[in-house]
Structure 1
Amino acid sequence: MVNVTINDNSTELWHKRLSHMSEKGLNCLAKKNQLSGLKNATLKNCAHCLAGKQRRVSFRSCPPHRKSELLELVHSDVCGLIKVRSHGGALYFVTFIDDCSRKLWVYTLKSKNQVFEVFKQFQASVERETRKKLKCIRTDNGGEYTGSFHEYCLRQGIIHQRTPPKTPQLNGLAERMNRTLIERVRCLLSDAKLPRSFWAEALNTVTHVINLSPSVPLRDDVPDRVWFGKDVSYDHLRVFGCKTFVHVPKDEKSKLDAKTRQCIFIGYGLDGEFGYRLYDPVQKKLVRSRDVVFIEDQTIDDIDKTEKVDSQDSGDLINVNPVPLDSSPDLIQDDVHGDVSDGHQDIDDFDTLMDYVVNDQQQAPIAPPAVPLRRYSSDEYVLLTDGGEPECYEEAMESECKDQWVEAMKDELQSLHENHTFELVKLPEGKRALKNRWVYRLKQEDKSSSLRYKARLVVKGYTQKKGVDFEEIFSPVVKMSSIRTILSLAACYDLEVEQMDVKTAFLYGDLEEELYMEQPEGFVV
């Protein structure tokens, strides 16, 4: 057979005959003299091979090279959405990494729109600290790094390197750091037995420790030592989430109050702050102090959460002989001095009790107790907890009954829509949007009925100003005196009383004012 159009000795012909075999394969067969007339195969670019077999260029072809000067190159990336809000309301965080020292900065964000402002704060801080100018920043091509961010870099003379779409490998240092941060945050929260809402505190702690940790690109040197040019100390480090005793200042306690309170260690001072950051689980607030005693082998589970009892003035105290109590198998007895009295004194009514107290004021000081003091065992306190109602949206989303609370919130929003309570609009200029919160309640008509999960969306009324958001205040709630009167009349005349509940009763009122409210948590459009 003779091919008059194509030379059968050509590499291209054998390439096509062998279903677009590679040049290496063609040469292998040619060396064995298995391809007639072909001794050496040299392929040109084949458009069809590119269409069917083209692969991405290896990222290892350009090995990373660490810069020699501080702020010569900074890597940045945003991590989120994190589904659990931090205590400060953050859902994202942004990282900045100096390529020369590998020093890390992390800022928590409520939205990605804050990246630009945070970057300007970061730039001002590091340039003043080092007396050097930021030369180049490398980011991905996300929307938070375009527009005004990019224009600002141009005006400041900062080179803005943006990676092509779908190539996170080109910003690999920042991407890998995000993974490291998230993994170590999980470890801290698990070890400390803290809820996920503490992720921002754990993140700041991890960042602080990473800057004190040996780095392979630095040949096991430490980022903070390279950045500051001096040795670092590890003596201040403590176990995240451990139990602490914090000294209470004089102006925050009375004479007989305890001089310490139990807290949880949640981090180190930020942005030049001194001392440690601690969380008071009883008062549910942040505490910052340097006068701290750490119990590093205990966690929040070991905190004594007994409520603080207000102390009484010594002038209000009176001496009363104790009345013997009947023993109970559910109580644990403490060893005290004194014999147990068999006597029992009955006090029939309130007047007798008052006479007894007043007459006793002239008696001698209090004697040792006539009966052993009793306290409940730790297991008994399980029965003293509340009904498991979440205090906020985050707690509801972390509870075991998350699905039930979600349905309750959807039911509440459905009622609001059906009653045309509000409509979704953009906030006009000069107007202020009121904040709101979810209130969760467990309802049970009687012991035989099942629990009902109710969620109510309420406006934080304390943020309103008279004359701006309202003129008059009404409280359409029935007084207890009225209820008692009705029940008394029903009992006197042998009447039957029926109870009814008007669902979302407050929604039937008419508002004359024009009010604006933020969208409820979990249902932001």
Structure 2
Amino acid sequence: MLRVFGSACYPYLRPVADHKLEPRSLQCVFIGYSAQHKGYRCLYSPTGKVHICRHVVFDEECFPFKTRYESLVPRYHNKLLNAWQQSTATPPPNQKEEVQVSRALPVPTAPTQTMPNVAENDQHMLENNGNSGSETEDVAVVQAENTHPMTTRAKSGIHKPNTRSLVASKFIPEVPMSIEAAMKHPGWNLAVMDEMGRIHMLNTWSLVPYEEDMNVLSNKWVYTVKLKPSGDLNKLKAWLVAKGFDQEEGLDYLETFSPVVRTATIRMILDVATAKD
């Protein structure tokens, strides 16, 4: 959900378009999150209109306002602040060089020999090894800089194991492969009985006499482990579902529909109802 402030974004604008020939999206600037809705606030600078949308594609390497307001960025005269500002500035593309050194690299025999694309510390180590005459010593591999915008544990300097996975693997029971195995475990047995009680309470099914032209669908049990945010076990969940993929279109059913309604559809219905009183 968190995005880079001021980056370029492309919200889905079809629900608010006047007609179908308007563009589906426009380049906007991400300016924050909505407090009343679940969505991103996207500023379209030519008109000054702010679109609130959930379906947004972000380009976090592009900042449309960067060149326009670059003159407003303060220039520090203090040496410390100036060094900090230069370190945070994005270097030009021609200065980004991938540093790759393979193992068992031959060490230079003279201290005056230099190696391109090697860090200062590694180069100093190689020169000292060259003075001692050891030409077969392994050299540490310098990994190429990872410029992907995704933040990982390794980029944040976190190298300890994830405690959530350790807790899950130690205290959470295995998912059963059959109903027989589930009935032998007290936790899964309780989940199965809860599902059966819910089915009888809601009258999900009704018994009908069997006929030869019926395509009877089989069923199966689906088991899921619910975890808390801390990684501890919350509950065991079981569902009894029908194998709908065994049906054939035109023979067992004629059409499909989705029971999920969109917000734009509700607004349109309310607008028509209001207009027709």
TM-score band by shorter chain is 0.3 to 0.5
More helix by share: 1
Higher-Rg member (1/2): 1
Normalising to structure 2: TM-score of the pair? 0.33
